[in-house]
Structure 1
Amino acid sequence: MKYAGLSGFNSVLFSSEKNTVIAKRIKNKIIIKENSINKTVYFFDNYIHKIPIIRGYWILLKDFLKDWKLLLFFFLSLILLIVSFKLVIYYNNVQVPIIDYDVIYNYNFTKLFLILVPIGLIFKILPTSKYHAAEHMVSNAFDKKLTLDVETVKKQTRVHRRCGTNYLVIAILVFIVIYYLFYLPNIYGILMLTLAFPIAYEIMIFENKYFKIVTKPLLWVGYLCQFLFFTSNPKDKHIEVALASFNRLLKLENENGIL
């Protein structure tokens, strides 16, 4: 079964090609909502997935549309990043526009990562990090064909190969490589940044054992970021929400004769 997961502030969403299930914990109760994907949307989604590069943008857009709170957090983090970087520049007595890729290039990307760390730490203390970990742990248990119960899931690692964090980390690294190889100022830098995301997606889905060996260090960076910043040890209540969502999805897939 092809599936994807997404965590929210108090929820976990799992989706397949034809069904979407979201489980939320509200006042110590787990509320489950399920939706079948429209046939037209299903056809369009399958068609888009056949187009390299474009499918990378589509995947990113779909994930954001699944949870507006996640989208809000992303934009607030981006604003924080821009403001923080502006302060770094200001205290170094450099007068530049609020976004200037020439300055980013000259100041070294290390400073960008140092600014991203506080954003990761903010995410770490939010409930989302626990639901994010629970989502990964349930996925890992299913991928290993283990029993899906709380005790089994608790023994799984909280990092996952297909996590969006890996996607983001690889995109940043791709952007850095492109930027140093083909240094272009201002608006061209923004275009290269947007191009880095679909390239990162192509790297993640490319099925070649030799290519995977070469790109494995990129995943290690993603795993480290997942562990340190974007997940934290979940409690039973977080795992229960993830299990509720995934088990309902399995039930729907069985009813449709997919599994």
Structure 2
Amino acid sequence: MNFWCDIGVNLFSDQFAADREQMLARAHAAGVNHLVVIGSDIAESEQNQQFCQQQANKSNINIVTTAGVHPHYASQVNDSWLAQLKQLLQASSVVAVGECGLDFNRDFSPRPQQQLVFAEQLQLAIQHNKAVYLHERDAFDTQIAMLKQHSIQRGVAHCFTGNTQQLRAYLDLGLYIGITGWVCDDKRGAELQQAIRYIPNDRILLETDAPFLLPKNIQPKPKSRRNEPAYINYVAEKVALLKQCTVSDIAAASLENSKRLFNFQSQQHHD
């Protein structure tokens, strides 16, 4: 059996409200023994951190979290957000700063405010020696310029959907690449499928971005369109096919990479 780390779960999405514990049990049964849950604003980051604390000795899965402010919410930060984020980054269960970055596709927050909030988080990542957990949509050139300006060398391009040129730019900075079920979509994911072969095995991370991005290669198709960590192997199957290696190769590499990036304490697998 392969063991997995899913580095992208939106744990407190309303879609998991009715069966969060059962979803985690299914993940464990599928071999997922590490989860990174995503904080998209201060409130969610705090909620995640409290959950990680409560689960520390109860769960069969090692659950850790990111803490940060997504660009969509950059205009909603209050005066104390930075102080609150610094406080969160003291917690051992908080392994990365983010989800942070730039989104010029939807522009839910004004671009100057997005850049301001992103820059503050990049500084914090450096100061606290944490990985950055990056979001980017239609803002690649500005984002890569800011990463270079802040000398960012440790982090992950979360839910990477870009092309080979963008992939190489992230790799050149020393970053890891997070691959989701987007790669299983032969129409939308065509550029990403082309780029996959250029990701070295020691830089690839796997994520479901659950409950979003249900892999299209699941057979038979689930009744619900909701994605969950138990489906991580379908992402790996598509990656292995494109990279012409085995699913076990991808499982082992991505698990090792996640431990290295997020400084997981090595955890014995619980039955």
- Indicate the structure with greater helix content: 1
Q: Which has the higher contact order (CA 8 A, sep 6+)?
A: 1
TM-score by length of 1: 0.27
- Indicate the structure with greater strand content: 2
TM-score by length of 2: 0.26
